[in-house]
Amino acid sequence: MATLNFLTGNAGKLAEAQTLLSPLGWEIQSFEIDGEIPDVIEPQSDNLTNVALAKIAQGVELLASQNRLEESLLVEDSGLFIDALPEFPGVYSAQVLQSIGCDGILRLLDAERSAHFLTVAVLWTGEVVEVFIGRCDGQIAMESRGDGGFGYDPIFIPLAGDDDRTFAEMTHEEKSACSHRGRALRALYDYLNENGA
Ligand code: ITT
């Protein structure tokens, strides 16, 4: 089984990537140095792609410092975008979740509840950098529901679902089938296949 290093401090992202890519023959392992996930500085930016590119640049430097430059490395940056609150929380999704949480988002909204998630996944192949983007449209629920998933999952209902369950009420497989991350990682998988990785 081929191995892909994933540099992330978010255990939920790692678990989703493993659920999606392991059955396809890719072992996704947490990128660690001396048993620790290295800290990565996320720049202030109004753009998820810039943040993800800054993360891969630091990740590749770390690979180089370990003489592991020929290994592959994945990073990604994701955000929730709520139409009624333009660009919010967007690139500030992590800080907003920490400060006001899902309940704070629910308090800010009235009838207009459409939203989408975006994921920008960036892969270092050992030679070049490739970018994969996934989007999932949906709406913000009226209340938090479900114990699964992470982050904003209890308040996000994907449009592609055939009912009104939130991501947090779905299995990993159900979420990945329609999620932003699932779409980005399937594009990444297709790229790896087409390029004989
Ligand atoms: P990294 O170490 O990979 O950067 P992070 O948790 O900082 O992990 P992001 O900046 O990409 O990740 O994510 C911004 C926020 O959006 C963060 O609080 C996540 O928990 C949340 N988030 C990302 N993907 C999500 C998803 O699929 N469902 C719900 N919340 C999500």
CA–CA distances in Å: residue 155 to residues 82, 90, 146, 165? 12, 15, 9, 9
191 pocket-lining for ligand 1 (C-beta < 6 Å): no
Q: For residue 63, how far is its CA from the centre of ligand 1 (angstroms)?
A: 23
CATH code, domain with 44: 3.90.950.10
13 lines ligand 1 (CB under 6 A): yes
pLDDT in tens, 91-103: 999 999 999 999 9
Whether 15 lines ligand 1, by a CB cut-off of 6 Å, is: no
Dihedral of CA atoms 99, 11, 136, 54 in degrees, nearest 10, equals: 80
Residues of the chain whose pLDDT is less than 50? none
Q: Please write the tens of the pLDDT for every residue from 109-145.
A: 999 999 999 999 999 999 999 999 999 999 999 999 9
Total number of domains constituting the chain: 1
Q: Which domain holds residue 102?
A: 2-194
SS3 51: helix
User: What pTM does this model have?
Assistant: 0.96
Cis before 23 (ω within 30): no
Q: Please give the distance, rounded to the nearest whole angstrom, from the Cα atom of residue 173 to the centre of ligand 1.
A: 18
Residue 144, token pair as written in the block: 């938090």
Active site residue 153: no
Rounded distance between C-alpha atoms, residue 40 and residue 83, angstroms: 30
